[in-house]
Amino acid sequence: MRIFITGGAGYIGTSLIQHITKSYPNWKILTTDIKPLKGLDGISNLEFQILDISNRDEVIKIIQNWKPNSIVHLASILNPPPGMSEETQHKIDVEGTRNVLDGAVRANTEQIIITSSGAAYGYHKENRDWIEETDPIRGHSAFAYSRHKKEVEEILSEYRLQYPGLKQLILRPGTILGASVNNLITDMFRKPLVFGILGYKSPFVFIWDEDVIQIIIKGILEKKEGQFNLAGDGALTLKEISSMIGKPYVAIPAFILQSILFLLRIFRLTQYGPDQIDFLRYRPVLSNKQLKGGFGYTPKFTSKETFILYLKAKGVPYHEN
């Protein structure tokens, strides 16, 4: 088994590589990233190359030379570093995915696993209470990451028609938590107060990182294809989260929060604009029915259990609701 993994130096990439090299020593892995790997030295069945995923010729050449059975495409920009332009993000997220797909086609790769996101559905008033895989992929104009995931899904749809021999397994996770994960959402829970929007529950679905790894491995072993939401059972509202971590919950009327963000944006005191309150106002709450039924995997932990595991790992006291 020959596996090609993009974004191998990232959080999920590193965890996936560690799991494969321990559990499947006969698999050969080639992984790439724009930054060096850490903590993965001396592994005999692992090769690493520095690679900018937006470098089309290099991406296609590497994949053609490696001839992988499966590709796991994890490279993406979730939290852009300061100063990174949206054009650069688009080259990595969208054009980078197209480059990997073209490399897969030319190498006659059997399967590609793509990590999309629940953000691909977008943050919209019309979102159903529980979003399923058949619901439209709409992205959101105010969020580059959400827009890019929509574009990626459109490209994938085109390639399914043009290259039906390349199996696509598209994973749309909610918020991934783990013992050492840090992201924009976990930053929200470190603040002295938990802010919400008056009249909106803002539910979050969580999935534990080890569940994500097991889903990817199962996908490789069984050559799965299709689109699947990744989330534990149930959801937690911001008010429930604030109660669990013992911090005050402050619900602000939407128009006031929009006005505050408008002024802060004018004075360049925040990167967020008034439209971005939709991130909390219209959360896409992911149903995992297809994951459990069609894919055949039941997450080991519910959204609540996942959040508790995260708090325990961080040494944060919590209160059971």
**Tell me, what CATH number does 130's domain have?**
3.40.50.720
Residue 193 lies in a domain: no
Predicted local distance difference test score (pLDDT) of residue 101 = 98
Residue 281 lies in a domain: no
Residue 65 lies in a domain: yes
Predicted local distance difference test score (pLDDT) of residue 249 = 94
**Residue 156 and residue 160: Cα distance in Å, rounded?**
6
Residue 296 lies in a domain: yes
User: How many independent structural domains does the chain possess?
Assistant: 1
DSSP conformation letters of 69-113: SEEEE----SSPPTT--HHHHHIIIIIHHHHHHHHHHHTT-SEEE
Residue 82 lies in a domain: yes
pLDDT digits (tens, 9 = 90+) for 67-110: 999 999 999 998 888 889 999 999 999 999 999 999 999 999 99
Residue 210 DSSP class: H
Residue 46 lies in a domain: yes
Residue 241 lies in a domain: no
**Residue 206 and residue 146: Cα distance in Å, rounded?**
18
Q: How far is CA 261 from the centre of its chain?
A: 26
Range of the domain at 25: 2-178+205-234+286-314
Residue 153 lies in a domain: yes
**Residue 277 and residue 136: Cα distance in Å, rounded?**
21
pTM (2 decimals)? Answer: 0.94
| Phi-psi region at 74: left, alpha or beta (left = phi > 0; alpha = psi -120 to 50) | alpha
pLDDT digits (tens, 9 = 90+) for 23-61: 999 999 999 999 999 888 888 899 999 999 999 999 999
**Residue 174 and residue 284: Cα distance in Å, rounded?**
9
